[in-house]
Amino acid sequence: MVDFVRHLPPEPKRRVRAALKDAGKLRGESDAVRGGHSGFWVDGRGGLGIVDGMREELQAVVEELKAMRDAGVSHVYLADGTLGNLRAAVSAAGSATTKPAVAAPAPARGGPAPARRKTASDSGGVREMVLPMGEGGARESRKAAPKPAKPGPSVPIPPPPVVELPDGDATEQLAWLRKRVLQCPVCNARVKPGKKVVFGVGGTQADIFFCGEAPGAEEEVEGEPFVGPAGQLLTKIIGAMGLSRGDVYIGNIMNWRPEMPTSVGNRPPTAEEMAFCLPYLRAQVEVVAPKVIVALGKTAVDGLLGPDPRRKMGQVRGKWHEFLGIPLLPTFHPSYLLRNDTLRTKRMVWEDMMQVMERVGMPVNERQRRYFLPR
Ligand code: URA
């Protein structure tokens, strides 16, 4: 078993290791903090805060864990030293008084907690812990986090809306639906001031319907799905298929960016949030009536097919399913590709896209067939 931090790509690994080393020094060494030790600061009121650099490093941990979870990883292994340092870092973040602490526990939906401790003898002298990353581990994990970021919506989500499409052609129906979603009081109550509810975009006659998870920071500003870094990659993938964004339809399970206590990072939507938004997505699928739906990442798969704690993205991707009688293909989320920028992962997604092209009757040329093959 490999310690989680050792699994990280080189640059996040360097930053996370540096951060964890600093955090480790904090335990019982407050002088280092008072002396302005790198990564932490003491605010004017004597509280221990967390500087932006440190927040970024913890965010790197959060993002990497999220990407691994999206890829179907349910547990990561943490050496005792790493875990202790991570706890110290989260603890320091939790005691910040003037700057909001990063939602460090988010990857495990609550924070690091041992689900099962191995002894030195069963791991060759290195004691390791299993850090649960799935729904099941979340509650346990939250208990261990000193001051967990509030993970869910602050106001209860009402039951899902009933959406009855009016008569009309696809353009009229989609315009009606768009207006209804953009005016939805529940959705609007969940976006921060100045931010937007996000509805799907694309062609009403599109053969391919890409479904993502939820708007992120860029999307809630623009009011358009997939316009941030992951969206730009999705646009490139669509381009590699010989299409443009207007030729396909792009939507999300969620119409709003799940609330976070901090301005950085994203969290997966809760089951209630997804259930509330699903009728809006279903109506978009009904209007567009695509030949194929591509579910981008685990949240989209869970939202469309229903949650299954045993489902692993690595196992379901590239295999056909159905939503409302329409063939659905799960593939990795573009943000996973951004964090796992290897020929292998790109090829996996590309093979999925070639399946999609074939399924909708698009030709795949020889050049396209060779994309992302090892030379
Ligand atoms: N990720 C998603 O799942 N959807 C977006 O719109 C942007 C990023």
| DSSP conformation letters of 281-313 | HHHHHHHH--SEEEEESHHHHHHHH---TT--H
Dist. CA 298–CA 276, nearest whole Å: 18
Ligand 1 site, residue 214, Cβ cutoff 6 A: yes
Which of residues 207 and 125 earns the better pLDDT score? 207
The alpha-helical segments, DSSP class H, found in the chain are 4-7, 10-26, 30-34, 52-70, 80-94, 135-144, 170-182, 185-189, 217-222, 229-240, 271-288, 298-305, 313-316, 334-339, 343-359, 366-370
With beta carbons less than 8 A apart as the criterion, state whether 247 and 222 touch: no
**pLDDT band at 152, cuts 50/70/90?**
low
Dist. CA 16–CA 83, nearest whole Å: 12
pLDDT score of 155 = 72
Atom of ligand 1 nearest to the CA of 297: 3
Q: What digits encode the pLDDT tens for the residues 301-320? A: 999 999 999 999 999 999 99
Q: Quick one: average pLDDT of 29-34?
A: 26
Asked whether the predicted pLDDT for residue 166 surpasses 60, the reply is yes
Ligand 1 site, residue 216, Cβ cutoff 6 A: yes
The alpha-helical segments, DSSP class H, found in 109-264 are 135-144, 170-182, 185-189, 217-222, 229-240
Q: Which domains does the chain have, with CATH numbers?
A: 4-144 (no CATH), 170-370 (3.40.470.10)
pTM of structure: 0.64
pLDDT score of 89 = 53
Ligand 1 site, residue 231, Cβ cutoff 6 A: yes
- Choose which residue among 219, 256, 284, 296 to substitute to test ligand 1 binding: the one with the highest number of ligand atoms within 8 A of its C-beta: 219
Atom of ligand 1 nearest to the CA of 252: 4
Ligand 1 site, residue 220, Cβ cutoff 6 A: no
Asked whether the predicted pLDDT for residue 19 surpasses 80, the reply is no
Ligand 1 site, residue 252, Cβ cutoff 6 A: yes
Ligand 1 site, residue 269, Cβ cutoff 6 A: no
- Choose which residue among 196, 210, 213, 301 to substitute to test ligand 1 binding: the one with the highest number of ligand atoms within 8 A of its C-beta: 213
Ligand 1 site, residue 281, Cβ cutoff 6 A: no
Which of residues 204 and 83 earns the better pLDDT score? 204
Q: What digits encode the pLDDT tens for the residues 264-307? A: 789 999 999 999 999 999 999 999 999 999 999 999 999 999 99
Q: How many angstroms does the Cα of residue 215 sit away from the middle of ligand 1?
A: 5
pLDDT score of 158 = 96
DSSP-derived 3-state class of residue 109: coil
Alpha carbon 44 to chain centroid distance? Answer: 35
Q: How many angstroms does the Cα of residue 216 sit away from the middle of ligand 1?
A: 6
Dist. CA 340–CA 217, nearest whole Å: 21
Please report, rounded to a whole number, the percentage of residues in the chain having pLDDT higher than 70: 59
In sequence order, what are the beta bridge partners of 79?
A: 128
**pLDDT band at 96, cuts 50/70/90?**
very low
